[in-house]
Chains A and B, each alone.
Chain A
C-alpha cells in the first residue's frame, strides 16, 4: 500500500513535469517538429490503450485499431455535423466504447478463450476495413458527412471551442494531444491503484481464484476492454485532428501490428513502457524514412525479432529488474531483513 501511494506521488510529479515541458515545447521547437511530436503523442495514447488491457488485463486484443479507427471516424462525422467540438470529441470515445461493450460482451460472456479473443478482434478489425472501404458514393452520408469509401474523409474540421468559437491552431493541437496523454496516463495509474484496477490485475494473474473470491471475471474484463476501447477512440480523434483526414487504412493490419510492437518493445505490465515504445519506434521509422538504404518494415521486423529473442519482457520491465537486482546487491550484507522488491509479473502470462 505504501509503495502504491509513493508511486502515485511520483507519477503525479512526473505528470506535472511533463505538463510543464509540453507547455514550453512550442517555444523551443519549430512547427514541423511540433506537428510530428503531436502524432507521436497521439499514437502513445493508442499504445496506452493496449498497454492497459493487455499488460494489466491480460487481454491480447488485435482490435485496438478498430476502436482507434471508429474513434477517428466518429470524430470526423461529428465534426461535419456540429458547430463546436464538444459532441464530436465525446462521440470519438463513446462510439468505440459502445462497440467494445458489444464485442466484449459476446467474447467474455460467451466464455471465449484468450487465443480466440485475439482472432476475433483481428477479424472484426478487418471486417470494419472492408465495410468502411465500401462506403463510397452519395448513399453513404451521415448528416453532412460523406464517408467516402476507400478515399476516406478529407478536410475534417479541427477543434472549435464551444461558446467562444475559437478554432485550434497547430500548437493548440499539440497542447491537446500532450494533455490527453498526461490525463490518460495519470487516469490509468489511479485506476490501477483502485479496487477495480487491482481486481483486473488479479484476474490476469488467476481468473479461477478471482472468481472463487467472488469477483465475476467476465464483468471486469468487459469493463477493462471498454475503457481500452475509449482510450483508443480518443487516440483516433487526436490522429484525425492531426491530419484533418481519415481513411479505412486506419483499420488495416499494419495499424494493429504496430500497436502490438510498441507495447511489446516498451514492455508489458507497465504504462510508461508502451508510451516510450510508441514514441521510440515512430522516431526510428521517421528517421529511416528519410534515407534510402534500409526499408522501414525490414528494420521493424528485425527489431521485433531481436526483442522476442533477447528481451521478451520489453525494455522497461528489464531495466526495472536490473535496477532491483543492483539495489538488492547493494543492500546485501547490511543488517536488517533483505526482502525482494516487487518484481513485475512475467508478461508471458498474458499470452497464455
Chain B
C-alpha cells in the first residue's frame, strides 16, 4: 500500500474561543476526488486555509506526500504542489485573463512552455471571448473559471476547490462539473460544495463536516440517506 497523498491528524484551528476545525483526521488517496460538505460555519474553508498555509494550525499535523507541511508558508505549500481556489474569488483583478494564467504557469516553466500550458488550460475552461479582457470586468461565474484556470495553470498535484459552483446558473454548474471531472483524470481534488446535484455529477465519496469535526465519510447515496446529515442541514435551515 502506498502512503496517502494527504493526511491530517488531530488538525485543530481555534479562533479565540471558537474551535473552527476540531481534531480532524482526514485522509486522501492519490487520484481521489473527494467532496466536502457541511452547513455554513462547519469549518470547511478554515480547513482549506490551514492546509494551504494561510492559517497557522493551533494543533495537529498535515502530511503531504509524507512531508509535514503544517505551518509552512503559503508559497512553500504551493510549491510543494497544492493549489487552491478560494471561496471568495481571488484573482488578479487588474490583469488580463491570459496574464492571470500565465503568472501561474510561468512559476515552474520557461516562457515558451508557460504559453503552451496557458493555451491548454484556456481550451479546457473555454472562456467565451477574448483572453485579453481584464478579469475585474468579468461576470462572477467567469471570474470563478478564471480562478480555476489559474490554479490549473500552476499544474498542482492536489487541487482544493472551495465552492466552485456558487453563484453559477444551471448550465454553468454543469460545465464546472465537466471541468472538475476532466481535471480529476490527472489530479487529485477536494471540492467543497453545497449543491447536491453538482456533487452527484462529480463524486461518489463525501466527507461531512459539522462544527469543525468530521461527522461521517461515505458514498454519496449513503450520505444523502443518513439521518444525522439531514438533521445537520435541516437544523441549520430552521435556525
A-to-B contact residues, CB < 8 Å: 1, 3, 195, 198-199, 201-202, 205-206, 208-217, 337, 339-340, 342-346, 349
Contact = CB atoms under 8 A, between A and B. Distances in A.
A215 B76 CA distance: 8
Contacts of B133: 339-340
Nearest to A203: B92
Contact of A213 (B95, B107, B137): B107
Interface in B100-116: 102-104, 106-108, 111, 115
A220 to B, nearest CB: 10
Contact of B132 (A209, A339, A344): A339
Contacts of A345: 93-95
Interface residues of B, number: 35
Given A199-B103, A211-B78, A212-B78, 9 more contacts: A206-B92, A206-B93, A209-B90, A210-B92, A213-B150, A339-B129, A340-B137, A342-B96, A345-B95
B123 interface: no
A1 B95 CA distance: 12
B75 interface: yes
B83 A212 contact: yes
B95 A212 contact: no
Q: Which 7 A-B pairs have the closest CB atoms?
A: A345-B94, A214-B78, A205-B92, A211-B74, A339-B130, A216-B75, A214-B79
Contacts of A217: 75
A215 B107 contact: yes
Interface string B128-148: 011011100100000000000
Contacts of A212: 52, 54, 74-75, 78, 83-84, 86, 90
A202 B54 CA distance: 18
A65 to B, nearest CB: 28
A265 to B, nearest CB: 21
Given A205-B95, A342-B134, A214 B75 contact: yes
Nearest to A339: B130
A195 B103 CA distance: 8
Contact of B73 (A210, A211, A344, A346): A211
Contacts of B103: 198-199, 202, 210, 213, 215
Nearest to A195: B106
Contacts of B96: 342
A216 B96 CA distance: 21
Contacts of B93: 205-206, 345
Contacts of A214: 75, 78-79, 107-108, 154
